[in-house]
Amino acid sequence: MQVHRGSRCTRPVGMRTRRAWLKTAAQTAAAGLVAASPLRAAPRPWRIAHVMSFESPWRWTDGQLAGFQQALAAPDAQYRVFQMDVKRHREPTAKAERGRLAREWIGQWQPDLVYLTDDDAVAEVARPYAGHALPIVFSGVNRTLAEHGLTGAPNVTGVLEREHVIESLRLLRALVPPARRLAVICDRAGVYWDAVIERVREQTAELPQIELAVVDRVTRYADFQRRVQAYQREVDAVLVLGVFGLQDGNGHSVPYAELARWLAVHSYLPDLSFWVDRVHYGTLASVTVSEFEQGLAAGRLAAAVLRDGQAPGGLPVRATTRGHPALSLARARQLGIAVRSRELLACEVVRRFAWDAA
């Protein structure tokens, strides 16, 4: 059958063909409506739960988070922070309780990723979550995955903290060429300090100009004071490691600011450490572990997990390699050390003691 419409001739559309055409048109229209609909749900921003072992404000912890946020490059991400504050909650039972509260907090918020800083957060949060679906990234950690019982954990990766021992000792020698005999002092509170001391021992052996003369682990503030006073006759320089857990005569922890000020007044030896906040509190020099570099490296790992879909356990756990030279000009002047322009230009220069700047 043909239908004539003026001079044009068209064939009638068969029923099967017409139904197919109507179905296609309906699908196309529906797709267009869905694409244009303002009701279509957008992906929600990532939720990042950050558990810090210590507290804020503090340059070490805040700098790690700042580096992490820069590397992740997700301005709409939602961050929440839990401070374990282990300087005040030092006892194992207190740390365990802080860890329990952190895990409870994580469970309530249901984040997309947990970012941990320093060893206590890893011990109290990463280990209980090992093998779960929740991705975990850490930084600022001294102990290895094996030491934390996390070898092979598929949901955990991170960044190790390794001290720039040789670089710090070379900076010390540049400032004070006669310095040769070194004392190391540390509290007994952190189990990971044993590994740090061993690394110091191994790397000092690579520098024939430096002799590791004495290593002291002390518990009481009075013992710390006594040993520092003895160092004035025994060695040429002092390396101060962890001294946050020293106790006074009443069994209370001595604030680091108080200890640092005592050291600056009563010690006439050049001193060094591995963290920039120590330099602000009077330590002469350090090629510091950069808190920002630690956070940057952790943020890159988090981006690989969240943005690229990689499994945390397949990402390498490494230490950062870029140190940050710093020196206290206030301490140098106090010790009568003339700092050359080369060191001034190469280092972050702290011109005043922290207690003078307050």
Q: 229, 264, 291: which is closest to 64 by C-alpha? A: 291
Looking at the fold, whether 217 and 337 belong to one and the same domain comes out as: yes
The rounded distance, in Å, linking the Cα atoms of 86 and 98 is: 8
The rounded distance, in Å, linking the Cα atoms of 75 and 144 is: 31
For 63, the domain range is: 47-162+291-319
The pLDDT value recorded for residue 67 is 97
Show the beta-strand stretches assigned E in the chain.
Answer: 3-5, 8-10, 47-52, 78-83, 113-117, 136-141, 156-160, 181-187, 211-218, 237-240, 271-272, 285-289, 318-319, 323-328, 348-350
Query: From its phi and psi, is residue 183 left (phi > 0), alpha (psi between -120 and 50) or beta?
Result: beta
pLDDT band at 271 (very low <50, low <70, confident <90, very high): very high
Looking at the fold, whether 58 and 99 belong to one and the same domain comes out as: yes
Tell me: pLDDT of 265 over 90. yes
Is residue 154 in some structural domain? yes
pLDDT in tens, 47-104: 999 999 999 998 899 999 999 999 999 999 999 999 999 988 888 899 999 999 999 9
Q: 261, 291, 283: which is closest to 355 by C-alpha? A: 261
Cβ contacts of 48 within 8 Å, gap of 6 or more: 72, 77, 78, 79, 80, 111, 112, 113, 114, 115, 302
Looking at the fold, whether 295 and 274 belong to one and the same domain comes out as: no
Helix, strand, coil abundance in the chain, percent, nearest 5: 45, 20, 35
Is residue 7 in some structural domain? no
Q: Quick one: how far is CA 25 from the chain centroid?
A: 56
Is residue 6 in some structural domain? no
Domain count, the chain: 2
pLDDT band at 35 (very low <50, low <70, confident <90, very high): very low
Looking at the fold, whether 213 and 115 belong to one and the same domain comes out as: no
The pLDDT value recorded for residue 28 is 44
Phi–psi pair at 223, nearest 5 degrees: -70, -40
pLDDT band at 16 (very low <50, low <70, confident <90, very high): very low
Residue 196 near residue 241, CB atoms below 8 Å? yes
Looking at the fold, whether 52 and 84 belong to one and the same domain comes out as: yes
Looking at the fold, whether 58 and 109 belong to one and the same domain comes out as: yes
Q: What is the pTM of this model?
A: 0.78
Looking at the fold, whether 170 and 266 belong to one and the same domain comes out as: yes
At 196, which CATH number?
Answer: 3.40.50.2300
Residue 188 near residue 217, CB atoms below 8 Å? yes
Is residue 30 in some structural domain? no
Task: Work out the mean pLDDT of the chain and round it to a whole number.
Answer: 88
The rounded distance, in Å, linking the Cα atoms of 259 and 261 is: 5
The rounded distance, in Å, linking the Cα atoms of 337 and 171 is: 13
The rounded distance, in Å, linking the Cα atoms of 321 and 162 is: 8
Task: Report, in angstroms and rounded to the nearest whole number, the Rg of the chain calculated over CA atoms.
Answer: 29
The pLDDT value recorded for residue 127 is 95
Q: Quick one: how far is CA 332 from the chain centroid?
A: 29
Q: 90, 92, 87, 126: which is closest to 106 by C-alpha? A: 126
Looking at the fold, whether 221 and 349 belong to one and the same domain comes out as: yes
Is residue 22 in some structural domain? no
Sheet (strand 323-328) strand order? 211-218, 181-187, 237-240, 271-272, 285-289, 323-328, 348-350
The pLDDT value recorded for residue 191 is 75
The rounded distance, in Å, linking the Cα atoms of 241 and 331 is: 18
Looking at the fold, whether 99 and 156 belong to one and the same domain comes out as: yes
Tell me: pLDDT of 137 over 90. yes
Tell me: pLDDT of 110 over 70. yes
Query: Which tokens in the block code for residue 188?
Result: 């007994």
Looking at the fold, whether 78 and 180 belong to one and the same domain comes out as: no
The rounded distance, in Å, linking the Cα atoms of 172 and 9 is: 99
Looking at the fold, whether 296 and 285 belong to one and the same domain comes out as: no
Q: 50, 123, 46, 130: which is closest to 295 by C-alpha? A: 50
Give the number of other Cβ atoms within 10 Å of residue 43's Cβ: 5
Looking at the fold, whether 80 and 157 belong to one and the same domain comes out as: yes
CA 293 → CA 78, 189, 236, 290, distances in Å?
22, 26, 31, 5
Is residue 11 in some structural domain? no
The pLDDT value recorded for residue 244 is 86
Is residue 20 in some structural domain? no
Q: Which has more confidence, 206 or 28?
A: 206
Is residue 170 in some structural domain? yes
Q: For residue 29, with 0-12 CB atoms within 10 Å meaning exposed, 13-18 middle and 19 or more buried, which class applies?
A: exposed
Cβ contacts of 346 within 8 Å, gap of 6 or more: 325
